Amino acid sequence: MVYVKASEREEQIIAAAIKVLSDVGVPAATLRAVAAEAGVPLGTLQYVFPSKDQLLRAVIATVVEEISWTLRAGLELDRGVEHALRHGVTSFWEKLVTHRIGLQIMQYELLAYSLRSETAAPLARLQYDRYCAVVTEFCEQAAQAAGERCAVGFDTLGRLVLAQIDGLILQHVANPDAARARRDLDNAVDMLVLFADPQRVARGSRRPAATG
């Protein structure tokens, strides 16, 4: 058997888990199915991830990392919050929603699974805490790079961005319509930009920050 580094084996198993979870759903996914997809013995998978919850936690972390990378890809932070929101949200939608509906369904199933399970309940909070943190940091970094101040706290802005996108994804999953989704997405970003009301801070003023 070819030797594989522990970190590479872990990545291999997580990628397989995401595929299985996206294809068959969280309730139907088993460690055995993930092991088969990864091409490793079940015992090897259980050595790396002793429980399903540990594997799901790793899946959440990987998906969050991918979302973060997608939001930032090709972004010019110094163009400010409005540009960051428009570019980031559009890039996210095109790369992780339009062509990966299964991934989005998986995330909602993961949330429902976590909320229904006594042992996995903390995963639901972890999932959304990390989603919000990604968007919050993303917006705050754009404001700082551009020397802007927003009319609302970045944590609040992050939660509302996530709420808007979540709602649009659910509608698109239930009734796919690419043209409608894109129009609604543009309108949602318009509202978010108006709410954030990013303004340039005059030179010599205190460090840019959000109010509220």
CA distance 136 to 155: 5
Tell me the C-alpha distance between 171 and 140, whole Å: 28
Q: Which tokens belong to 23?
A: 């294809």
What integer pLDDT is reported at residue 122 of this predicted model?
84
Q: What is the pTM of this model?
A: 0.81
Residue 75 is encoded by which pair of tokens? Answer: 């972004």
CB 110 within 8 Å of CB 26 = yes
**Lookup result for tokens 């990378």:** 69
Nearest in space to 19 (alpha carbons), one of 81, 62, 80: 62
Mean pLDDT for the chain overall: 88
What is the tens place of the pLDDT at every residue in 116-153? 877 777 888 888 898 899 899 989 999 999 999 999 99
State which H helix or E strand residue 11 sits in.
helix 6-24
* pLDDT category of residue 1 using cuts at 50, 70 and 90: very low
What are 46-58's pLDDT values in tens digits? 999 998 888 988 9
pLDDT of residue 204: 57
Cα–Cα nearest to 196, from 148, 163, 141, 129: 148
pLDDT for position 146: 95
Q: CA-based angle 136:18:110, to the nearest 5?
A: 65
Please give the pLDDT value at position 196: 96
Provide the pLDDT confidence category of residue 192 given band limits of 50, 70 and 90: very high
Lowest mean pLDDT across 88-92, 116-120, 157-161, 183-187: 116-120
Residue 206 has pLDDT above 70, yes or no: no
Largest CA-CA distance found in the chain, in angstroms, rounded? 64
pLDDT at 207 over 90: no
Reported as a pLDDT band with limits 50, 70 and 90, residue 171 is very high
Q: Which among 171, 172, 184, 132 is positioned nearest to 154, based on CA atoms?
A: 132
